[in-house]
Structures are given as C-alpha cells and as structure tokens.
Amino acid sequence: MQVFRDRRHAGQLLAHRFEPYLADPGVIVLALPRGGVPVGYEIAARIGAPLDVLVVRKLGVPGYAELAMGAIASDGILIVDRRVIDMLGVSREAFDAVVARERGELDRRERAFRAGRPRLDIAGKTAILVDDGLATGASMAAAIDAVRARKPARVIGAVPVAPPEVCDALGDRADEMVCLLTPARLHSVGMWYRDFAQTSDDEVRSLLDAAERERLARAAPRRAEPASSAR
C-alpha cells in the first residue's frame, strides 16, 4: 500500500503534527541520514527550526543485512538486540566485526555530511528525531540514547510509518513518539512509498545547506521599510 509519493511528501504530512512548535526558538530537528534527512527537512522548514543530522548505523545480521541486531550512534552509543543475536546464533566475533565496520562508516558519514560544520547545541532544547520509517526501531533507540547524553529538555521521535508495538516501545524511551501511520503489518518501510530510491550523500548535503541558508535568513534582522514621502 503506497501512501507517500516520496520522503519529502511524507515529511510534509508529518510536519502538520508539529505546528504547535511553529517559530519556537527552543526546538531543533535532528534527522537520521540518509533517508531521514528529506523528511526532517520538511518538518524544519514548516516550523522554522534548525536542521542537523544525527548519524546512526544499523547493525545488520551477517548474511541478513536488513535484519537489525542492534545499532550504533555518535558518542559511542551501542544498542544490542540480544533476542535476535541469540535466535540466530551470531558469535561475538561476528558481532564485533559488524560493529567495527559500521563505526568506520559512521565516522565517514559524520565528516561527509557536516563538511566542517559543528553540530548544533541541543542542551536545554526540544530535539525532534526524524527518520523515514521504522521496522525494528533499533536505530531510533540508539538515536534517542545518543541525544539524551547531550542534555536536551525533551526528546521527540517522529516517523511517517512504523509498527504500533515499535512506536509504543520507543514512546517509553523518548518523551513522545509521533508515528503518522502504524500499520499492524508493516512488511517493509519502502512499500509505503511510491518512490523509495536511496537518498544520496549529495542530497543530504544539499538539504543541510538549504536548511542552513533558511536559518540564517530567519535570523537576519529585517531591513526597515523606507518611509513614504509626504505629499
């Protein structure tokens, strides 16, 4: 069942749920790259909030990369799904090899996406964590834990689609979890999108650059209108 045209469309629909935060200076949108960035961009643009990335890497089971056995995030955050590991008999050596590989990719993406920009300070602010959809929720769980370490006032998870049990579980981890659609049978995130083509590094950088230009434009003082001449 295709509901969203693409990630930008999903973000536009999800953004309506955040209109109470319109022009709130205490809100920052953090998108999980790559796929979460087009979604997060639309939310940030709608409510006038800054946009940044929070890099999270799923730890795929060897031979079944789409099945998550955990996730890692910046600041050394590690989430482990013991149920999956034990069920499939993943050895410690195999698990550690996946962690090492994904940590290298996490570091590469941090450098590539930021292009020298420092990450935004979220201490004391409301952080809205955005992805394009959830299957197991491991990546969002790692993202929530990583953000908690940076002392925000509030953490909100936001996705266009996820299973109800995943949204409920993450709602206990975050202060709030916003899931636009919660189908009982998700099957895959991509089936809910007409266009679910992979988001490129270039698209991520382009959207972050656009969001930064818009943030600076909002922060710039408005030029006074010239007074009309007396007649």
**pLDDT tens across 105-124, in order?**
998 888 888 777 888 899 99
What's the rounded Cα separation, in Å, for the pair 101 and 16?
38
Report pLDDT digits (tens) over 202-225: 999 999 999 988 888 887 765 444
**Any idea what the Cα angle at residue 174 is, between residues 172 and 175, rounded to 5°?**
95
Residue 1 confidence (pLDDT):
64
Residue 221 confidence (pLDDT):
67
Pairing of strands 64-73, 56-61: antiparallel
**Any idea what the Cα angle at residue 16 is, between residues 11 and 19, rounded to 5°?**
120
Residue 207 confidence (pLDDT):
95
User: In this structure, what token pair is assigned to residue 10?
Assistant: 């999903």
- Judge whether 6 and 13 are in contact, CB under 8 Å: no
Residue 159 confidence (pLDDT):
98
Low-confidence ranges of the chain (pLDDT < 50): 223-225, 227-231
Residue 98 confidence (pLDDT):
95
Q: Is residue 205 packed enough to be buried (19+ CB in 10 Å), middle (13-18) or exposed (0-12)?
A: middle
Going through 32-175 in order, the beta strands assigned E by DSSP cover 51-53, 56-61, 64-73, 77-80, 126-130, 154-161
What's the rounded Cα separation, in Å, for the pair 86 and 70?
12
User: Considering the domain 7-58+113-146+162-216 in this protein, what is its CATH number?
Assistant: 3.40.50.2020
What's the rounded Cα separation, in Å, for the pair 161 and 10?
9
A 10 A CB-CB count for 183 gives 15
